[in-house]
Structure 1
Amino acid sequence: MAVPGAQAADISARNPLLSAGEDGYVLAADFSVNLNARLEDAVAKGVALYFVVDFELTRSRWYWLDEQVASRSQSLQLSYHALTRQYRLSSGALHQNFASLDDALRILSRLRNWLVFDKSAVTADQTYLAAVRMRLDLSQMPKTFQVNALANRDWNLSSEWARWTFTPSDSAQAGGTGTQVVPVVPPMLPAAAVAGEAK
């Protein structure tokens, strides 16, 4: 039974953008990440939460199934360290500490400069369908938590796929920044103000 006034956990995605970088195309996106009391309490008690950002790029084919051009995932770990009384966001060997959970979530919410595919993977003036989402990955949690988490809706946290059409231009192929990005769907939910940078 729902508790009146209880905070719901949810993630939403908005403002996805692909642009040409030196080594390939990089993705930027904003997320609104809201944790409920159960998740906040779990982090405060030392349980690490793993958030995964998934990206897909496909090309429509009238004669067969859509072709998957690129698929990438990036994992970010959110944890709390009682000795230092700081929250930590980690991505691979990189990490950053924060004085509060809100500060950590603001950085988690802002994805910038993520290299998702090489320029050679796409053809200029060909239209592609790009998609991005963020989800809480229960499979990376300790086994003792997985059974309870899988059966509890409070732990089922994932955004919808944010989808948009993407057409690389000749200037982008040559190393410029020219791209044509047309959203397929409007932003799902207004995201809270975000600042900072996640790697």
Structure 2
Amino acid sequence: MTIRFLRLLACQLLLLFACAQAQAADGVEITRAHIEATEDGYRLDARYAFDLSQDLEHAISRGVALYFTTEIELTRPRWWWYDEKAVTSRQTLRISYNELHRQYNVAVVGSVQQPFQTLDEALANVRRPGRWQIAPKGALKPGEVYNVTVRMFMDRQLLLKPLQVNALNDAGWQLSSNKKTFLYKAE
């Protein structure tokens, strides 16, 4: 009786561990998030690790544009009131495939797009985006410590309307990171 119970318990634990590993592999991992002070303002230097599911690769090869959004929020803690939201910013990258030219395109939404020959090259640009300005120089108080929260996800709201229904119900179309938090002392 106890050997059977232990075997059953071991099988359930293995199944639970396998499900947790599969779920973790489907998400986005923020491998680097760092704020840099420059002459014109504050920039986010971020790196991500993720793989597209077969459904997403198939969709891109059929001409469906996918959108990846990074959100960042800087708050200043206050003991007498709610935390002050100093900066809230977001940037969206679009990746698409042009069958006529047989090339992948990556662009910051509303900007010029860059062509790439392979999907891996295009995804490398999404995983390592350029440093983008999150706030002008005077937005943060020098010497103050801010709580920073960064998140990256595939923005399903920007998909074509018929695909949004499918994307909401299909786990292969859900790609996002956990929130990464760290402290930043303004310069």
Tell me the residue number matched to 1:143: 161
TM-superposition CA deviations, 1:4-53 (whole Å, max 9, x none): xx995321112211111121111101111210101100110111101111
Tell me the residue number matched to 1:122: 140
Q: Which gives a bigger RCO, structure 1 or 2 (Cα 8 Å, sep 6+)?
A: 1
1:103 paired with 2:121, answer: yes
1:58 paired with 2:82, answer: no
- For residue 61 of structure 1, report the CA deviation from its aligned partner: 1.4
Count, aligned residues: 165
Tell me the residue number matched to 1:43: 60
Cα distance in 1 for partners of 2:140, 2:149 equals 15
Tell me the residue number matched to 1:173: none
Tell me the residue number matched to 1:164: 182
**Structure 1 consecutive aligned stretches of length 4 or more whose deviation exceeds 2 Å:** 6-10
- For residue 93 of structure 1, report the CA deviation from its aligned partner: 2.5
Cα distance in 2 for partners of 1:25, 1:116 equals 6
CA contact (8 A) 1:131 1:162 kept: yes
Unaligned runs of 5+ in 2: 1-21
CA contact (8 A) 2:46 2:131 kept: no
TM-score when normalising by structure 1 = 0.78
1:13 paired with 2:25, answer: no
Question: Cα RMSD between the aligned structures?
Answer: 1.8
